[in-house]
Every structure is written in C-alpha cells, then in structure tokens.
Structure 1
Amino acid sequence: MSFSPITHLRHVDIAVPEYDKQVAFYGNNWGLTDVGGESNLTYFAAEGSPEQYIVRVRRADEKRLDLVSFGAADPKSVDQLADRLAGANVTLISEPDVLQTPGGGYGFRFFDLEGRVLEVSADVETRTHRKIEEREAIPVRLSHVVLNSPEPEKMLAWYVKHLGFRLSDTLVHPHMGGLMWFLRCGPQHHSMAIARCPHTALNHVSFEMRGLDEYMRGSGRLIRAEVPKIWGPGRHRAGDNTFTYFHDPNGNTMEYTTELELLDEDTWHPSLYDTSEPETSDEWGTADSMNEWISKQMFNDPDKGLFQAPPA
C-alpha cells in the first residue's frame, strides 16, 4: 500500500467579514459549542467529537478558507510527511513543531497544489465529549469537506500522490465528464471531495448527525428558522448519505448529513455515477432535481487567500 499518513479530518477554519453573524449562526442555529478563543477568533466544537474544535471562525475583511486540518497517527508520520513533501518541492509554511492551538499536538502547515493551507498533526489532546442522545438534533462530529477546483484531475492526482488519499467514487456527466471525485483516508466513503468549478473555492463543509431522525429534526429546525436552504432533504447515491445544504451568513455552504457509507478497504472498487440519472443526486426523490442554480450556489466566491498563510 502507498504511504498514507492521514487518519481523519480534524477541523475546517474559515475567515469571514460578517464575523458576529457567523459566530451566532454556529452557536444558535447550527448546534455547535463555543469553546472560546481570542479577539476576533472563535473555536467551535461538536458535543459528540473528541476533537478540541471542528470549526474555527476568524474575522477578516474578505471571506476565505483559512485552512483544512487533518490528523496523523503519530509524530513520526508527521515528520515523514514533511520530509516527503519538502523533497517533492511542496511549499511548507512551517516545519513540524509543537502547535499553539487548543489541544496542542505536533504538526505543520503547507500549501496544496492550488494554494490552500493544509495542516497535518498528531498527539492533539482529546476533548471531553459525550454521546448525543436520541432526538438531539445537533452535529456529532465533522463529516467531510468538499473543495472546488478549476483543474480537479490535477488536484486529485496531487492528493493521492502526496497525502495518500484513495479514490472511492466519481460523479460523471455524459457530456461534461468528471464532476466530483470522492476521496477517503479510512473506512468512511469520503473525508474530502474535489468538485469541478470555474475557480478555486470552498464548496461545502458537512456535519454528521446522530441518525435519520436527528438529521431530519435538525434540517427542519433550520428551515423553520428561515436559514437559506439550497438543496434537500435527500440521499446521495455515492456514499449513500443524506443531505440538506444551507447557506451560512457569509454565503458558505454547510451540510447536515448522516449514515455515510463505510467501506471495506480490501474489496472496494471505485464506481462512476452518471449525474444525468436523477437517482445519482437523490435516491429518495425528495429533493429538487440537481440543476444549474443549485450548482452555482455551491461555487462560492473565488478564494482570495490562496498561497497566503492566515495570520493565526
């Protein structure tokens, strides 16, 4: 098996101009727990997750994806990855060292092929968490992140080569070719995906709910609160997970999901799913059919923070 240092997705950090509205959205609407921070910086945890935080929000003049953080098995894996990346002329933002973020740990940051900031860390102290109870409609943990790319095939090759991700499935269109590639770093069908888009941007961040009932209750709560809904509720074919997509106060797309498929690493073979078949987008048939308007809502604004390390 190829070198696979990544174990899981830790957190996704964003910068936004409407900072106060974003903080209120995550705490009051989305169901995350404010675990502190500092001036113009707030960390949010999920009650069911051992991660210190799963989202960080920073105040900024322009919206951007600050970084995506992944876990590694141990400090040795972190050092090995840093050496491999440096040897492949990948630009390191920092060398492996003790992290100064909640929970500490040992890690480093670097740019991906298109200039996003990635972080890989190990030995981060776990947070005291709890079992999410029946009918408790708040996120259990972070599920996955999807990134928009104008050259997704190159991005796919980069993440497979340098970070050891494996391709699970691909969405294709008869006339447009590949549209989305689902990548895994463990048994979960995908921890990240790459979507074809005219520009580099964040597509969406997804949060795992306890089960179907909690997923529907959470989706309904947001709909009743008039949080802008883009698409759903429904169930995707690739990954077999449920979906309801909403816009946050800064126009980023956030998803509630549950029941994401777990794969047998030794027997799984990637499939091509035709998006011209309505069941590919929504097996249930309960959501609106995928259309150009829905796609554009997930294009997001072009990321203006590429190849720029965030100040925190």
Structure 2
Amino acid sequence: MLIDDIEYVIFRHPDLSAVRQFMIDYGLLDVSQEGDSVYLRAYGDAPFSYVTTQGEAAFVGMGFRVASQEALAQLAARFGADIEDCRHPGGGKYFHTIDPDGRRLEFVFGAQRLQPVPCDGAPIAWNDAHAKNRLGRYQRPKYAPSHIQRLGHVAVFSPAPQQIIEWYGENLGMKPSELIHGDNETSVLAAFMHLNKGSEWTDHHTLAIVGAPAPGLEHASFECRDFDDVGMGHMVMQDKQYQHRWGIGRHFYGSQIFDYWTDPAGFHVEHYCDGDMVNEDTQTLRYPFGRDTLLQWGPAFPGI
C-alpha cells in the first residue's frame, strides 16, 4: 500500500478574503495565513484540507498522505524527486511532482495530526420503516455550516482519460471501481478510481477522471457528518446567496448524497455523505454514459 488517503487540495485565487469566507461558510475552519497562502482545515485530524495562494484563479493540484516512510522513499525514487521538509502546517517530510496533465501532486509522510473538532451533536439516529433507533428524543440539527470531516475525493478533467487512468494505476496503485464508456467498452470516457489498500475498505473513489478537451477541475468533494449536515449546509449557503450548482440528490457512481456549490472564482465544491466502500475483492463495473447513470434521484444535471 502506497497511499493512505487524499489529504488536501491546492488552489490559486485572486481574492483570498472572498474565498476564505466562502469556504468557512461552506464548512471548513481557519488554520492560518502564511504570506499569501490561506490554509483551512476540516473537523477531522488532518493538519489542513485546503490551501489557496494569491494569484490568477487556478486549480493547482492535490496532496496525498503516504502510508509509510518506505512508501515515501519508493514513490520519490519512482518520480526522481527529492524528499524535503514539508513547508505546510503539520510538517513531516514530502516531495512533489506533476502528472501528465500538469497537475501538481504532493506526497506527505509524518505530518502531525490535529485533535478532531467536536461537531455540535451526534449523527442522525434514523427512525425508518424497518427500525426505530431514535426513541424518546428529537432530531434537532443546529443551524450552522456543514461540519466537514475530511477531503473525500477530487474529480479532474483530462484530454486523454485512458492514459491518465493507466498512469495513476501504474504509479500510485489506484484501481477503477467503475468505468464509463462510449459506444463500446474500449472507449473509456471516465473512471472512478479507489486506493489500493488490499482487504481494507476504502472510498469508492478518491480520484475521478473525466474526459474533456482540456485539463481542469470538475470538483473537489468534502465529506459531511451526515444527511442532515448536507441539508443544513445547503440552507446556510442558500441564505448567504452563494451560487448553487447542483443537488441535493444521490449519485449513481459511489451512491453519495451530493450537493454542489460554486466558489467566487468559479470552482465547484461538493458536500457529500453516505458513499460506497470497496476493497480488493470489489469487481470493476462498466457502464455506458447516459443520463440514467448521472444520478439515482435529484434534479437534472445542469445543461442536460
């Protein structure tokens, strides 16, 4: 196992104050501002989950938490990169490289973990038709931004999706959970890639790769506490008159409850909960592209 998890996303924004406030209202927490870089964290133990630097708007790349010191050395040797002290909050050791589309990839080991932040209440206890689990108490979520637990996945555009899928598989050990194809199964249009963690359960996808004319970001996705947390976050963002993109609904690929928003520079971020889990015994599934596989329920995807 090389990669333990995805850890953070890296952006540039022309207005740091605006994007900082947007992401706090979206559900992240302040860490620090160091020079022209703003760091934000989730409620989990990651030192930070989001960093943006002053400049022309761009999705720069992403950072991964490496599984061991040996894995860090193995990956650095594979890319011909030098390991150095990590300059980000949490410290540790890291190196960086780029993927074939030019995205910056950072690999960190040994960063100091943070104490998780309490989330103002327990997750939902459901009373459904099959079991009553909330007895003698009421469901009263507090009006507040979503309580983001962690960065869950990143979806990127690539003009050469098949080659990028193979590159992440060969170099980072990622495996496709599900593939989307065109007229035939050899015409791969997109992939939902999970980490290779053997028998250990891991997210249905840590990286999604989608064919497009040019490289870019489709969205960065952050896991919320539960369904109510997605819904309450929607209300807060709506009340603050931020630009809503799509949701609330349930995805087909990965099964997540989703809700998408657009930041001040035009980048899309997703609130999600209740995603599928896979491991080495999970077979890769293949589906043709179509409206029916965009979602199980919810509003239509914008433009379709």
What TM-score do you get using the length of structure 1 for normalisation? 0.84
The answer to whether the aligner puts 1:266 opposite 2:275 as a matched pair is: no
Match of 2:39 among 40, 43, 54: 43
Residue equivalent to 2:154: 145
Alignment of 1:1-312 (within 5 A): 4-27=1-24, 29-47=25-43, 49-60=44-55, 62-86=56-80, 92=81, 95-132=82-119, 133-134=121-122, 135=141, 137-174=146-183, 177-185=187-195, 186=197, 187-263=202-278, 265-278=279-292, 280-284=293-297, 286-288=298-300, 290=301, 293=303
Q: Secondary structure at the match of 1:255?
A: strand
In the TM superposition, residue 204 of structure 1 has moved relative to its aligned partner by: 0.6
Q: Secondary structure at the match of 2:277?
A: coil
How many angstroms apart in 2 are the aligned matches of 1:275 and 1:138?
33
How many angstroms apart in 2 are the aligned matches of 1:204 and 1:160?
21
Kindly tell me: are residues 247 and 18 of structure 1, through their superposed partners in 2, closer, same or farther at Cα, counting changes over 3 Å? same
Q: Secondary structure at the match of 2:112?
A: coil
The share of aligned pairs that are identical, in percent, is 26
Kindly tell me: are residues 173 and 221 of structure 1, through their superposed partners in 2, closer, same or farther at Cα, counting changes over 3 Å? farther
In the TM superposition, residue 224 of structure 1 has moved relative to its aligned partner by: 2.9
Is the CA contact 1:45–1:55 (under 8 Å) kept in the aligned structure 2? yes
Gaps in structure 2 of 5+ consecutive residues: 123-140
How many angstroms apart in 2 are the aligned matches of 1:146 and 1:126?
25
How many angstroms apart in 1 are the aligned matches of 2:192 and 2:2?
18
CA RMSD of aligned residues (A): 1.8
How many angstroms apart in 2 are the aligned matches of 1:252 and 1:84?
31
**Of the two, which has the highest radius of gyration?**
2
Q: What are the Cα deviations for residues 182-231 of structure 1, in whole angstroms up to 9, with x where unaligned? A: 11114111111111111011111001011111111112221232211111
Q: Secondary structure at the match of 1:120?
A: strand
The letter of the residue matching 2:13 is V
How many angstroms apart in 2 are the aligned matches of 1:51 and 1:13?
15
In the TM superposition, residue 131 of structure 1 has moved relative to its aligned partner by: 4.1
How many angstroms apart in 2 are the aligned matches of 1:215 and 1:274?
29
In the TM superposition, residue 273 of structure 1 has moved relative to its aligned partner by: 2.8
In the TM superposition, residue 12 of structure 1 has moved relative to its aligned partner by: 0.4
How many residues in Structure 1 have an aligned counterpart in Structure 2?
Answer: 276
Is the CA contact 1:238–1:273 (under 8 Å) kept in the aligned structure 2? no
Gaps in structure 1 of 5+ consecutive residues: 87-91, 295-312
What TM-score do you get using the length of structure 2 for normalisation? 0.86
How many angstroms apart in 2 are the aligned matches of 1:9 and 1:83?
20
Q: Secondary structure at the match of 2:203?
A: coil
In the TM superposition, residue 26 of structure 1 has moved relative to its aligned partner by: 1.1
Is the CA contact 1:169–1:182 (under 8 Å) kept in the aligned structure 2? yes
In the TM superposition, residue 242 of structure 1 has moved relative to its aligned partner by: 1.3
Kindly tell me: are residues 22 and 277 of structure 1, through their superposed partners in 2, closer, same or farther at Cα, counting changes over 3 Å? closer
